[in-house]
Amino acid sequence: KLGEEKATNLSLKDDNARLANCVTVLTQSVKDIKKEKADAEEEQTKKADDLNKANLELEEQLKAAANKLDKMKADNAEILAKAAADIANRERTIDMGQTTISSLQENLSTSKDEITKLQSAEKKLKTKLGEEKATNKALQEDNAGLAKGITSLTKSVKDLKKEKVDAEETISSQTKKTDDLKKDLKNA
């Protein structure tokens, strides 16, 4: 009977040694999983921080671009208003010059040199009026280009918002995976 007890004790010692090895392996596996989990959480946090930082930078750039466009629009509006006032003044000047020419033509005592000078002045004013009208048209075309630029920036903002939503969904998915991993670790 003593031999049987020794054999049973030896078998129990072997079982205990195997169990101790299993506990050691399981403990190391748990440590490895915890480290992987911590690394994944750290990586996820870093990615979220990077995305937030990039998003803030993009918002600042968009604000700066919008401010610049607003200033350009205001400057162009001011230039257009000045050009319109100049055109109106020049048209009045031309109207006055034409009235003067008509009066001089009716008065035969007026010299031809005086008439020639006034006609020359009228021609110069008409040329300047044409130039001012061309400038006004170019400024209107510039405003149309600015409107297209604003539309493009608006589309870029929408695209950036969509990218932000996609990034948030990715982060949410990563968070869910991490939570599932935590639950699996607790259950293990």
pLDDT at 110: 59
- Neighbour tally for 80: CB within 10 Å: 16
pLDDT tens digit at each of 188 positions of the chain: 677 878 888 888 888 888 888 888 888 888 988 898 898 889 999 998 998 999 899 899 999 999 998 999 999 899 889 989 998 998 888 888 888 877 766 765 656 777 788 889 899 989 998 998 988 888 888 888 888 888 888 888 888 888 888 888 888 888 888 888 888 777 76
Q: Which residues of 100-110 are buried (b: 16+ CB within 10 A; e: fewer)?
A: ebeebeeeeee
